[in-house]
């Protein structure tokens, strides 16, 4: 009985404990997690009298506190932490601190950030199978076996692709990569290998290792004209670089900096907003998300550690390392939430007994997804690297840093900025900017103003280019300071490839614009940019006006060219012969030689061959002759010839007067070919000018010959300035080759100089800007505006007018040629043709009357008349016989009586001595 009772009691006790144990297990499994979990953090502290807490440690605590306050992530669990601080580069201390934390039972270790300390901690975590979480970049070899490793920093290879995409979008052909340490070459390996695959030239430089003074390096880059620079360094170093670049004059619109640091927004960029520098960077902090903005704002208010004075950093800004640490704590918490039945044990480094849940928990971490402060969080399941991420492209504007695009691993670069009135870069606008203008003294473009008062600044100058600069400033709204180029040269390249003059000023960015008679050439266009030309011109020859030629014995022939004199002689001979023929041919030019002898059958013609020539000479000399034409045809010839002589004599007299009043100038050279063929007259150009470059680079045989002559005598052929060249032209036998517009201005004011020949080539004057300057397009648009509304023409008329040389003195009178008097010869020929037709008509008409009277055929009468007409002697013409009548005595007496009654009848007698014959 007692045994039965004991058995029953024992069964009841066993059942009780079994139920209690089951209840406890149910309670345990119902919650799924312990109430407290611990994470460890190992952070470096800076050496010095006062150790500063790192941003990662502050973010680590900040994240734990937020998770514990907000129970949505771990509703029934309290997250605790153990923080250990070590000295930087102390890997032994890091290993010891890691072992101390593992003995406390941590689910993951965060940090340290330095590579040597991190590698020591990583080896311990690999051995004991505890997740090791990193938030800074770390080189990850291809054969890496760190399975218990997760890094929230973007993968360096993907980040390098982002930089390469940005460089290609900006269409950079050359760039300089400046890295801080050797790991930078690993981070930028895709960019460094770009020259072999893309048309990009890279120059690699390294920052000083033991100093923050980068001015020697910046000076070297400035001297090398390296304007597109990629800096791979921390944001603290970037802040110092920007401050020193500003003192070096490298924070201008011509420079473009790309920073690979993801903390560009932590730098105080206020001093650089309005200086025009182009600055581009990346940002992984997703500030566009309202929740992220709230957390960042809360971080700024709780953090009480200000940056160091003069560090160039902003206060209260959450850096990328802090944001990644915050996300790392959350991703571990999310992974722990999805890990049921996981216990945490105390681990000893010397026992080498791993955590049995470590591999499982590491898998949960790599498979977790979380939208954190730095965007989408996901890991590569094999390497534990963050290969899928988004980056914001940020750029410095006048309003501050602005997001201008986005980059992702899958989508690449996408610029989302909408072009505003200023465009992509703030330097597109010239309003309220102060520009440095380099120029050179040359009339009438830039001259020193004459004044009784002492002038300073821009008021010292006047001229065409100064007025043009004022017009541009009024349109674009900029202010300027004019500086004369120190060496007084336009700019040319020496044998070593170095430039001088205004081109050097632009290349070294000591000037923003070059406003002068600046010729646009191919070689200059390769190193600087030009606006559209504001004036077109070419190369011509400036030479001294030659002395007057001595008049010779036959200078009276000069008013007309030799061919005109030949044509006049031929016209005289032709008109005289035609007159002779027509006069012999026309019956109305024959007259009775003895008008008092009615019975005479002899007629004469005054226009013999000799008389015809005499008639022409008398008319040509405007003296006339006793011979007068009677027939219509010969009168037409006479009238046309008189008109011809009137025009010829009047033209000759007028041109002879001009030749006598204006001295003839015969220049020994009339073109570039004439100069090249001789060596008596020296010639040259302005040294280091565009004209010199033209002859130096020309492949035309004539110009090559001229350059060979000039280069063989550089001391005598090349002049330092236009003023020196003008004085040499006036004082010696020297010809200066220069721009035609300047020659035009000089010859208008110096009557002893003239332009010889035409234009050799065609070029233009433009405004020079440094290569890649954003001002060029704006300047070009303003020049076109001034050109279209006529203001540019008005400026030229203002400075080129006012000639003191009379126009009559500037234009020499030349002999008249066939182009001047050809018309009168045509009129003369037309008159001769008309007279021939009229003579034929007269001949036919008169011959028909004669044939009817003589009762002959027209053909026989025509043959006889033609035969007798061209006989150069008197011809006897048989008159028709009158009817025969017999006179009676009465009739005879009546005639005698009538004769006596006529007054003066006794005196009327013919002296011909010829007695009419009666039948």
Tell me the pLDDT tens digit for each residue of 800-824. Answer: 876 556 454 444 566 777 777 777 7
Does pLDDT of 743 surpass 90? Answer: no
| Long-range Cβ contacts of 784-792 (<8 Å, 24+ apart) | 784/532, 785/475, 786/468, 786/471, 786/472, 786/475, 786/534, 787/534, 791/471, 792/468, 792/534
- Give the C-alpha separation, 24 to 798, whole Å: 106
Q: Which residue has the higher pLDDT, 860 or 583?
A: 583
Peptide bond into 112 cis (omega under 30): yes
Question: Binning pLDDT at 50, 70 and 90, where does residue 882 land?
Answer: very low
| pLDDT for the residue numbered 741 | 86
Whole-number percent of the chain with pLDDT over 90: 25
Q: Which residue has the higher pLDDT, 594 or 680?
A: 680
| pLDDT for the residue numbered 40 | 94
Question: Binning pLDDT at 50, 70 and 90, where does residue 767 land?
Answer: very high
Contact 139, 89 (CB under 8 A): no
| The two structure tokens encoding residue 514 | 């070059």
To the nearest 10°, report the CA torsion of 166, 170, 173, 176.
-60
Mapped onto helix, strand or coil, the DSSP state of residue 597 is: coil
- The angle, 0 to 180 degrees and rounded to 10, between the axes of the packed helices 818-854 and 562-585 is 10
Contact 106, 36 (CB under 8 A): no
Does pLDDT of 900 surpass 70? Answer: no
Does pLDDT of 298 surpass 50? Answer: yes
Residues 6 or more apart in contact with residue 791 via CB below 8 angstroms:
471
Contact 141, 366 (CB under 8 A): no
Q: What's the average model confidence in pLDDT over 79-101?
A: 91
To the nearest 10°, report the CA torsion of 445, 451, 457, 459.
-60
Peptide bond into 188 cis (omega under 30): no
Q: How far apart are the first and last CA of the chain?
A: 223
**Which strands form 400-408's sheet, in the order they lie side by side?**
201-206, 174-179, 228-232, 256-259, 278-283, 390-397, 400-408, 412-415
What does the H/E/C string look like for 848-862? HHHHHHHCCCHHHHH
φ, ψ for residue 533, nearest 5 deg = -65, 140
Question: Binning pLDDT at 50, 70 and 90, where does residue 159 land?
Answer: confident
Q: What's the average model confidence in pLDDT over 329-337?
A: 89
| pLDDT for the residue numbered 855 | 64
- Give the C-alpha separation, 137 to 131, whole Å: 17
Residues 6 or more apart in contact with residue 582 via CB below 8 angstroms:
631, 633, 634, 637, 835, 836, 839
Q: Which residue has the higher pLDDT, 812 or 713?
A: 713
| pLDDT for the residue numbered 895 | 45
Query: For 476-533, what is each residue's pLDDT tens digit?
Result: 889 999 999 998 888 888 888 889 999 999 988 889 999 999 989 888 999 999 999 9
Q: Which residue has the higher pLDDT, 143 or 67?
A: 67
Question: Binning pLDDT at 50, 70 and 90, where does residue 90 land?
Answer: confident
- Give the C-alpha separation, 318 to 298, whole Å: 10
Give the pairing of strands 590-592 and 447-448: unpaired
CA angle at 166 for the pair 162 and 168, rounded to the nearest 5°: 115
Q: Which residue has the tokens 């520009």?
A: 435
Does pLDDT of 273 surpass 70? Answer: yes
Question: Binning pLDDT at 50, 70 and 90, where does residue 766 land?
Answer: very high
Between 245-254, 279-288, 619-628, 714-723, the lowest mean confidence (pLDDT) is in 619-628
Q: What's the average model confidence in pLDDT over 349-361?
A: 88
- Give the C-alpha separation, 579 to 836, whole Å: 9
| pLDDT for the residue numbered 156 | 82
| pLDDT for the residue numbered 881 | 43
| pLDDT for the residue numbered 144 | 64
Residues 6 or more apart in contact with residue 696 via CB below 8 angstroms:
707, 711
Let me know if 45 is exposed, middle or buried by CB neighbors in 10 A (0-12, 13-18, 19+). middle
Question: Computed over its alpha carbons, how large is the radius of gyration of the chain?
Answer: 56
Q: Which residue has the higher pLDDT, 135 or 910?
A: 135
CA neighbor of 98 nearest in space, from 162, 41, 161, 30: 41
Query: For 277-289, what is each residue's pLDDT tens digit?
Result: 899 999 999 888 8
**How many CB atoms lie under 10 A from the CB of residue 579?**
27
Question: Binning pLDDT at 50, 70 and 90, where does residue 896 land?
Answer: very low
| pLDDT for the residue numbered 549 | 54
CA neighbor of 229 nearest in space, from 279, 294, 165: 279
| pLDDT for the residue numbered 141 | 61
Q: Output DSSP code: residue 408.
A: E
Does pLDDT of 429 surpass 70? Answer: no
CA neighbor of 367 nearest in space, from 382, 348, 345: 382
| pLDDT for the residue numbered 65 | 92
Does pLDDT of 407 surpass 90? Answer: yes
Stated pTM of the model:
0.63
Residues 6 or more apart in contact with residue 358 via CB below 8 angstroms:
128, 129, 130, 131, 148
Does pLDDT of 608 surpass 80? Answer: no
Between 61-65, 329-333, 670-674, 735-739, the lowest mean confidence (pLDDT) is in 670-674
Give the pairing of strands 375-377 and 228-232: unpaired
Give the pairing of strands 513-514 and 174-179: unpaired
CA neighbor of 379 nearest in space, from 155, 156, 141, 186: 155
Q: Which residue has the higher pLDDT, 89 or 16?
A: 89
What does the H/E/C string look like for 769-837? EECCCCHHHHHHHHHHHHHHCCHHHHHHHHHHCCCCCCHHHHCCCCCECHHHHHHHHHHHHHHHHHHHH
Does pLDDT of 610 surpass 90? Answer: no
- Give the C-alpha separation, 368 to 63, whole Å: 18
**How many CB atoms lie under 10 A from the CB of residue 830?**
11
Does pLDDT of 854 surpass 80? Answer: no
| pLDDT for the residue numbered 25 | 45
Query: For 778-800, what is each residue's pLDDT tens digit?
Result: 899 999 999 888 898 899 888 88
């Amino acid at each position: 009985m007692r045994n039965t009772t004991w058995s029953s009691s024992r069964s009841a006790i066993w059942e009780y404990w079994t139920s209690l144990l089951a209840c406890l297990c149910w309670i345990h499994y119902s919650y799924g997690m312990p109430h407290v979990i611990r994470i460890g953090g190992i952070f470096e502290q800076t050496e010095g009298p006062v150790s500063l807490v790192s941003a990662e440690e502050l973010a680590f605590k900040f994240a734990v506190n937020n998770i514990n306050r907000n129970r949505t992530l771990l509703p029934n669990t309290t997250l605790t932490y153990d923080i250990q601080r070590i000295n930087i580069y102390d890997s032994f201390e890091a290993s010891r601190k890691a072992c101390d934390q593992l003995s406390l039972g941590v689910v993951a270790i965060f940090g340290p950030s330095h590579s040597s300390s991190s590698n020591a901690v990583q080896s311990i975590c690999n051995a004991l199978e505890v997740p090791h979480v990193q938030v800074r970049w770390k080189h990850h070899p291809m054969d890496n076996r760190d399975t218990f490793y997760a890094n929230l920093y973007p993968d360096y290879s993907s980040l390098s692709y982002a930089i390469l995409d940005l460089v290609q979008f900006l269409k950079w052909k050359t760039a300089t990569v400046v890295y801080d340490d050797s790991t930078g070459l690993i981070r930028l390996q895709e960019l460094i290998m770009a020259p072999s695959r893309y048309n990009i030239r890279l120059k690699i430089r390294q920052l000083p290792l033991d100093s923050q003074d980068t001015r020697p390096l910046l000076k070297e880059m400035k001297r090398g004209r390296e304007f597109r620079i990629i800096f791979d360094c921390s944001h603290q170093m970037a802040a110092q670089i920007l401050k020193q670049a500003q003192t070096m004059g490298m924070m201008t619109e011509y420079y473009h900096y790309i920073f690979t640091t993801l903390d560009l927004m932590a730098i105080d960029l206020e001093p650089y907003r309005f200086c025009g520098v182009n600055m581009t960077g990346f940002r992984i902090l997703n500030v566009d998300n309202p929740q992220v903005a709230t957390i960042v704002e809360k971080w700024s208010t709780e953090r009480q550690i200000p940056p160091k004075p003069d560090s160039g950093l902003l206060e209260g800004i959450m850096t990328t390392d802090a944001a990644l640490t915050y996300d790392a704590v959350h991703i571990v918490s999310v992974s722990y939430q999805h890990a049921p039945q996981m216990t945490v044990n105390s681990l000893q480094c010397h026992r080498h007994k791993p955590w049995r849940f470590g591999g499982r928990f590491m898998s949960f971490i790599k498979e977790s997804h979380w939208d954190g402060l730095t965007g989408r969080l996901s890991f590569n399941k094999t390497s534990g690297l963050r290969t899928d991420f988004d980056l914001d492209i940020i750029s410095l504007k006048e309003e501050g840093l602005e997001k201008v695009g986005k980059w992702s691993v899958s989508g690449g670069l996408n610029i989302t900025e909408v072009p505003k009135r200023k465009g992509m870069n703030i330097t597109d606008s010239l309003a309220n900017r102060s520009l440095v203008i380099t120029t050179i003294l040359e009339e009438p473009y830039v001259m020193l103003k004459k004044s009784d008062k002492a002038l300073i600044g821009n008021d010292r100058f006047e001229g065409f280019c100064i007025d043009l600069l004022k017009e541009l400033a009024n349109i674009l709204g900029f202010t300027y300071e004019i500086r004369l180029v120190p060496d007084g040269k336009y700019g040319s390249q020496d044998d070593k490839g170095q430039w001088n003059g205004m081109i050097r000023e632009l290349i070294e960015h000591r000037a923003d614009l070059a406003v002068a008679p600046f010729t646009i050439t191919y070689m200059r266009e390769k190193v600087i940019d030009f606006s559209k030309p504001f004036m077109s011109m070419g190369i011509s020859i400036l030479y001294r006006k030659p002395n007057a030629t001595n008049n010779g014995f036959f200078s009276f022939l000069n008013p007309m060219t030799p061919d005109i004199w030949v044509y006049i002689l031929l016209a005289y001979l032709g008109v005289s012969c035609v007159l002779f023929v027509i006069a012999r041919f026309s019956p109305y030019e024959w007259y009775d030689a003895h008008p008092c002898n009615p019975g005479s059958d002899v007629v004469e013609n005054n226009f013999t061959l000799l008389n015809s020539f005499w008639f022409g000479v008398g008319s040509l000399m405007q003296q006339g002759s006793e011979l007068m034409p009677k027939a219509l045809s010969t009168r037409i010839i006479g009238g046309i010839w008189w008109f011809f002589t009137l025009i010829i004599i009047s033209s000759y007299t007028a041109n002879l007067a001009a030749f006598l009043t204006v001295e003839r100038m015969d220049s020994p050279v009339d073109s570039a070919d004439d100069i090249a063929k001789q060596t008596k007259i020296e010639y040259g150009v302005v040294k280091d000018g565009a004209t010199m470059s033209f002859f130096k680079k020309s492949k035309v045989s004539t110009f090559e010959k001229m350059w060979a002559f000039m280069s063989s005598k550089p001391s005598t052929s090349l002049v330092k300035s236009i003023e020196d060249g003008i004085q040499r032209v006036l004082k010696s036998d020297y010809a200066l080759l220069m721009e035609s517009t300047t020659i035009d201005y000089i010859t208008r004011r110096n009557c002893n100089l003239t332009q010889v020949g035409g234009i050799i080539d065609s070029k233009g004057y433009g405004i020079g800007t440094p290569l890649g300057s954003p001002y060029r397009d704006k300047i070009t648009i303003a020049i076109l505006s001034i050109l279209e509304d006529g203001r540019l023409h008005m400026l030229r008329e203002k400075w080129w007018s006012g000639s003191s040389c009379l126009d009559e003195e500037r234009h020499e009178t030349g002999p008249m040629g066939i182009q001047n008097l050809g018309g009168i010869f045509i009129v003369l020929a037309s008159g001769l043709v008309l007279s021939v037709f009229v003579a034929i008509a007269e001949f036919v008409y008169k011959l028909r009357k004669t044939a009817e009277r003589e009762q002959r055929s027209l053909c026989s009468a025509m043959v006889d008349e033609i035969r007798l007409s061209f006989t150069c002697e008197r011809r006897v013409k048989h008159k028709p016989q009158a009817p025969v009548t017999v006179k009676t005595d009465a009739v005879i007496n009546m005639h005698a009586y009538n004769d006596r009654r006529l007054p003066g009848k006794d005196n009327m007698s013919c002296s011909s001595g010829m007695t009419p014959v009666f039948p």
